[in-house]
Chains A and B, each alone.
Chain A
């Protein structure tokens, strides 16, 4: 039966044909025929044993379609009753409640309609969830749950009877809190992956209100929603809500007291769950006026930071679903109202009850921002509208951010942005993204094809550049290049498509017919002949086809601001006059000028410069090569090798690189006196100058001749 899109049907109850349990079917067949006795045609009766299974202690997670509030989420859930949607439509009615003490059951309780499940919402400190208990530990002692257990271990909610009276649904309420629902299979939004469109829903009876701190501020409160099994313990629920002296129209927010001082070290232990239970004192007061949650957090932010990484307490990243459930129960697992007081009198008056928990999840209720309030508060405008300054939050005003230029935005949506040109100039250019505040001009021509970004740079009338399109081109090019598969696809497409097009264009165009006179038949030598023809033309009249060769170096910008001779003179520390006049004159002056040398006590002989350098370089080379080879070389090999130059021993001796090398000259090995101060002999520079002179003289001679 279709429901219709957007509609759904509600059922108060869907009874299963068989409730869970073991059954025996007996099949009989009676045959009769004339003249035959009934016993002659007797058919043995067939007995079939059938077991109808249903979750009892553990609800498989795949049976849960959705939960609200979503597991692990934080938000403003205070106005919504938590609920769980189960795929099997009959699940809440598949078992009988079978309370063991009918005397305690309210006569108005509708036992027949009541589900065996209830969704209970517990705030921190109100009860204790013990995960992974043997199933006989999951129920209050003295109670047995009929039916075959579906698991070895289950989770149990340990809760005092007084707390049960305060938060569990009453016996009169349980049947109102579960219903079945049919949604349209085509309406995926409502259906969310169910197979038949039938669902069952269990609603909680408690609004998960956010907490209030001592100072009245909103404080997040963590709630645990447990789907508990009521089988056999229905009588433990409060028969009905106490009749109040006056209508209770308001409820208090849970008061969160930051009660216990916790050091940082203890905080770590607290989060890790390694703190001994007696160190915690989170027993809530029996405060009728409202829930008081004492939490051991000294620094709420630190707590939040820890909670943001739920993996902290777990050993590895590969946590299974089971660990997740343990994780969610963590804050409810110790120091609750129940585990502390062994006093027998209290235990008798206010016993601890245990309920099997089929599934549980936790969430945090905080704040009062709803989707509606956020949506209504939105600042709406076309792109390019500046945000209206909010007087309440001056820090969020755009203008107030220090060190920022005010946003330059014009009515067309262009934004002024700093732009560094290729030449290094810092200018401001206009940029507008693809999102316009005005309708695009649909009638205008489309953008003609550009091959480079520079083709679509535009200078607008105010003299600044508009680089919007150029930026789009460039980011497109970069995005294309960043995806090798796309580059490959482009190249493949070009090779296939363009080459075919090229060939087809040449062959089909008739151009070949016209060329036939010039180049002859079209055959496989065509390419060669064409090349030859082109070469022939180039050779015959190069000036028609070839231009001048491009200069190897383009003219540059002058580097020096003043005359070169002045710069040279200053750099060498000579008087500027030394570089003025004819070249010959300058040379004369230079010869006379005193060359400033560093204050080294060195003497240089002509020719020695080269030799000295060669020696040093050799030495360095051999050291480097030996250092590289050293691990594989042995003493023997080294002694055998002849011609290993210079200070081999030094290199092998250690890391010392031998005599210090100064300015490329090794002062040590060269015998003293080999270098001479300038003026007493000729040095390499002199040699060069001499050579230059000689050439000049020769030129003069030739000129003279």
Chain B
């Protein structure tokens, strides 16, 4: 080192330089492609980094024992860690103390911009840009065969319990209750990482809705046989009939394995009250209605509601079939 240079001098020098550097004017980018304190291209990548996208998995979960097979692990995101990550990127190519001085002057504005832009990451194109600094971020890592076997699971998070209180409509919860997802990604065939913009109280993980499926509840019987049951629904309201009625599914006599006696099942269904529309015969629409099976929705959250089966039932995905409309369109108008 050629110059006499000690720590005290360095601090004084830095302060002097900082007083010289112009104030950083934090401009809020209006658009995803606008440059803010840092260029948009750089910002986009830093935001990805803040959401841990390129970070090797071993840095996230340091030991495989922390994430055993068939487990879900919940976490809060460490802002200091992600800050350090961004600082590491910004340190690239700071050749001299002058660069560092300027970087130090810019850094608070960069950090604020990233806090803000991080929230805009998974925003729908049509939604307005979100503002406001970074609140807490939380999430989960899921390692399960359910991730590999059912790609594209749905994850939704709520700041309250959508099944409790006034908000009974699980499928259209009030907007302010839904917690946005910042990231939902399969890191490995069987590992799913999800980040929430906030701390949810209830999280729903739902079987992918690959269309609506038709089927039965199966119970294995001794002797290499199995039995299928169907819970009967009211054709008008789509509710299960009360009292609940489980119908044993008949299989075809002298049929191949698994061949259902569709006609006999239909006859039995038709004999039950409330399963038919205005028409006396059961048609294929009504028949399909009885067979609809909905994707399973696993609810994580407040255990207060878990004990009541009725409350839990509310949480299961249930689109309403407007049966009246079917009647009007398909029968009354004539088909």
Contacts and interface: CB of A to CB of B under 8 A. Distances in A.
Contacts of A167: 255-256, 259
Main secondary structure of the interface of B (DSSP, over half): mixed
Contacts of A244: 253-254
Contact of B226 (A253, A409, A486): A253
A501 to B, nearest CB: 6
A550 to B, nearest CB: 6
A370 B218 CA distance: 11
Contacts of B146: 371, 374-375, 378
B213 interface: yes
A236 interface: no
Contact of A8 (B71, B87, B212): B212
Given A9-B325, A379-B70, A547 B1 contact: yes
Given A177-B262, A473-B88, A11 B248 contact: no
Interface string A347-386: 0000000000000000000001111101111111111111
A178 B145 CA distance: 33
Nearest to B62: A415
B291 interface: yes
A377 B283 contact: no
A508 B61 CA distance: 50
Contacts of B99: 494, 498
B239 interface: no
Nearest to B135: A442
Interface string B251-265: 111111111111110
A374 B148 CA distance: 11
A200 to B, nearest CB: 10
A442 B17 CA distance: 31
A207 B260 contact: yes
Contact of B144 (A7, A212, A374, A501): A374
A552 to B, nearest CB: 13
Interface string B62-93: 11011111111111111111111111111111
Nearest to A199: B211
B10 to A, nearest CB: 12
B217 to A, nearest CB: 7
Given A13-B284, A382-B75, A493 B39 contact: yes
A502 B98 CA distance: 9
Interface string A130-170: 00000000000000000000000000000000010111011
B38 interface: yes
Contact of A209 (B88, B136, B257, B264): B257
B107 interface: yes
A248 B60 contact: no
Given A12-B335, A207-B228, A251 B93 contact: no
B55 A11 contact: no
B28 to A, nearest CB: 17
A452 B91 contact: yes
Given A248-B253, A504-B22, A12 B283 contact: yes
Nearest to B215: A80
Interface in B268-318: 282-289, 291, 293, 295-296, 298, 300
Interface string B315-335: 000011110011001100001
Q: Which of A242, A372, A409, A446 has the most CB of B within 10 A?
A: A446
A471 B59 CA distance: 8
B103 interface: yes
Given A176-B287, A547-B3, A387 B211 contact: no
Given A169-B262, A241-B261, A249 B248 contact: yes
Interface stretch (B157-165, B177-185, B202-210): B202-210
A247 interface: yes
A83 interface: yes
B214 A80 contact: yes
B314 to A, nearest CB: 14
Interface string B134-159: 01100101101110011000100000
Interface string A1-37: 0011111111111110000000000000000000000
A417 interface: yes
B214 A203 contact: yes
Nearest to A166: B256
Interface stretch (A431-439, A553-561, A623-631, A661-669): A431-439
A179 B288 contact: yes
A490 interface: yes
Interface string B88-121: 1111111000111011111100010000000000
A48 interface: no
B257 A249 contact: no
Contacts of A179: 283-285, 287-288
A249 B227 contact: yes
A371 B207 contact: yes
B9 to A, nearest CB: 12
A12 B207 CA distance: 27
Given A203-B214, A381-B73, A440-B76, A398 B68 contact: yes
Given A241-B264, A415-B62, A489 B41 contact: yes
Interface string B185-222: 00000000000000100000101011111111110110
A446 B224 CA distance: 63
B226 A250 contact: yes
A104 B44 CA distance: 70
Given A4-B322, A253-B225, 13 more contacts: A9-B325, A176-B262, A176-B266, A180-B285, A190-B211, A250-B226, A371-B149, A372-B296, A378-B144, A479-B49, A492-B39, A545-B3, A549-B2
Interface of B: 1-4, 17, 20-22, 38-39, 41-42, 45, 49, 52, 54-56, 59-63, 65-94, 98-100, 102-107, 111, 135-136, 139, 141-142, 144-146, 149-150, 154, 171-172, 199, 205, 207, 209-218, 220-221, 224-228, 248-264, 266, 282-289, 291, 293, 295-296, 298, 300, 319-322, 325-326, 329-330, 335
Instruction: Give the top 3 A-B pairs by smallest Cβ distance, nearest first.
Output: A476-B88, A387-B68, A244-B253
24 contacts: A5-B172, A85-B211, A179-B288, A190-B212, A201-B288, A244-B254, A248-B261, A251-B227, A371-B149, A375-B146, A383-B67, A383-B74, A385-B73, A396-B68, A434-B59, A440-B79, A472-B85, A475-B85, A476-B49, A486-B92, A490-B92, A494-B93, A502-B21, A545-B3
